[in-house]
């Protein structure tokens, strides 16, 4: 079994929980996920199976899209609703959309983030959340990220009783972005404490949430020998330019990890080399050699 499952992760489960469950359901150990989702976050979690596990790093590095909610007026230790209150500053009146839109605009493009203490980033061999749980704070490495799009969704909601204002948003961001931290930084731009009160990943590796399957659906489909939940490697790589190999290129070169010459394709992108319409490997252009060289070997069978 080779391919990618567009899984719909539920709140309360870890990404590793699903890998464990799917190994039992699919009766295979060769499974990997493409980017951790916190237990409080639900949505699209592509799962690679069999030969497709070689694509884990490629898919993990692709942009992702989320819809969520920022709450102004309070900050927490974890930057989300799970943590304890750190600071509270009630709003006396709500911000208007016209006042909020410039903040969203300022927070697009190339940004620098410092990962939250409650995260799985490793410093000196230990995960940051291990330091945080021990009551320690350590220096954290900066991350350079890119925000492709960040905008408000609908009307913000102001609660006069609590003094909090909630703002729904959509964001498209690069690998390594902590959306929790975006919410906190959004509050900083308004001189207010803030936290991420809800988050759903709505797109990852090209899969929108509408095309995902729950773990229950996958289990039922397996019982009925229905494997339509599994997407082929070619389905996942449709955005990568393709090239059909001739007999000599396949048998003499690619099958043995050799180079390719004179392929007319965008040299700034990977090249998906195919045999009979099936992707066999990903190549990249080498300027020094002026040739296409193997980047990732996928299927070597004839």
What CATH number is attached to the domain comprising 226?
3.30.2350.10
Which pLDDT score, from 0 to 100, does residue 117 have?
60
**Same domain for 48 and 135?**
no
* 245 and 289 share one domain: yes
Question: Same structural domain for residues 74 and 197?
Answer: yes
Q: Are residues 173 and 187 in the same domain?
A: yes
φ, ψ dihedrals at 179, nearest 5°:
-70, -30
Residue 250 lies in a domain: yes
Residue 302 belongs to some domain of the structure: no
On the 0-12 / 13-18 / 19+ scale of CB atoms within 10 A, 39 is: middle
pLDDT at residue 72, rounded to an integer: 98
Phi, psi of 184, rounded to the nearest 5 degrees: -65, -45
Q: Which of 245, 277, 276, 242 is nearest to 258 (CA)?
A: 245
Q: Which residue from 195, 157, 156 is spatially nearest to 178, judged by alpha carbons?
A: 195
Range of the domain at 291: 240-297
Same domain assignment for residues 126 and 88: yes
Q: Are residues 26 and 142 in the same domain?
A: no
**69 shares its domain with 56:** no
Instruction: Catalogue the active-site residues.
Output: 38
Residues 52 and 92 in one domain: no
Residue 116 sits in the same domain as residue 151: yes
Q: Looking at residue 120, what is its pLDDT?
A: 62
Q: Quote the pLDDT of residue 128.
A: 63
Question: Do 127 and 209 sit in the same domain of this protein?
Answer: no
Rounded Cα distance between 103 and 100, Å, is 5
Residues 96 and 194 in one domain: yes
DSSP the chain: --EEEEEEEPTT--HHHHHHHHHHHHT-S-EEESS---TT-EEEEEEEEGGGGGGHHHHHTS-EEEEEEEEESEEETTSBTTSPEEEE---SSPPPHHHHHHHHHHT-EEEEE---SSS--EETTEEHHHHHHTT-------EEEEEEEEEE-S--EEETTTTEEEEEEEEEE-TT--HHHHHHHHHHHTTS-EEEEEEEEEEETTEEGGG-B-HHHHHHHHHTT--TTPBPHHHHTTTS-EEE--HHIIIIIGGGT--B----S-TTS-EEEEETTEEEEEEEEETTTTEEEEEEE-----
Per the listing, tokens 């759903």 go with: 200
Q: How far apart are CA 33 and CA 43, in angstroms?
A: 13
Domain total for the chain?
3
Residues 282 and 258 in one domain: yes
Contact in structure between 128 and 115 (CB atoms under 8 Å): yes
Q: How far apart are the first and last CA of the chain?
A: 17
Residue 44: predicted pLDDT: 96
**What is the structure's pLDDT at 145?**
93
Q: Which of 201, 223, 251 is the last residue in one of the domains?
A: 201
Label the pairing between strands 42-49 and 194-204.
Answer: parallel
Residue whose structure tokens are 């070689």: 54
Average pLDDT for runs of 10 along the chain of length 302: 93 90 93 86 94 88 94 94 92 96 97 73 69 71 91 96 97 93 95 96 94 96 95 88 91 89 86 90 92 84 52
- The verdict on pTM exceeding 0.85 is yes
């Amino acid at each position: 079994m080779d391919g990618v499952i567009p899984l719909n992760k539920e709140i309360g489960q870890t990404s590793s929980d699903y890998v464990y469950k799917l190994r039992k359901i699919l009766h295979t150990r060769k499974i990997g996920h493409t980017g951790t989702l916190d237990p409080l976050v639900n949505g699209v979690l592509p799962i690679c199976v069999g030969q497709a596990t070689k694509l884990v790093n490629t898919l993990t590095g692709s942009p992702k899209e989320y819809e969520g909610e920022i709450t102004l007026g309070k900050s927490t230790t974890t930057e989300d609703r799970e943590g304890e209150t750190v600071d509270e500053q009630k709003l006396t009146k709500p911000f208007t959309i016209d006042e909020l839109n410039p903040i969203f605009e300022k927070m697009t493009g190339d940004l620098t983030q410092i990962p939250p203490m409650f995260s799985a980033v490793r410093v000196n061999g230990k995960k940051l959340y291990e330091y945080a749980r021990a009551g320690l704070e350590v220096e954290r490495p900066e991350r350079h990220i890119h925000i492709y799009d960040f905008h408000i969704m609908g009307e913000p909601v102001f609660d006069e009783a609590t003094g909090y204002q909630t703002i729904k948003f959509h964001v498209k961001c690069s690998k390594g972005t902590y959306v929790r931290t975006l919410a906190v930084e959004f509050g900083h731009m308004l001189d207010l404490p803030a936290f991420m009160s809800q988050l759903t990943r709505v797109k990852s590796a090209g899969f929108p949430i509408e095309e995902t399957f729950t773990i229950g659906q996958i289990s039922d489909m397996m019982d009925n020998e229905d494997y339509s939940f599994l997407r082929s490697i070619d389905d996942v790589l449709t955005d990568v330019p393709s090239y059909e190999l001739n007999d000599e290129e396949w048998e003499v070169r690619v099958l043995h990890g050799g180079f390719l010459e004179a392929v007319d394709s965008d040299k700034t992108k990977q090249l998906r080399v195919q045999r009979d319409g099936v992707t066999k490997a990903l190549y990249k252009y080498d300027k020094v050699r002026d040739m296409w060289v193997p980047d990732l070997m996928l299927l070597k069978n004839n």
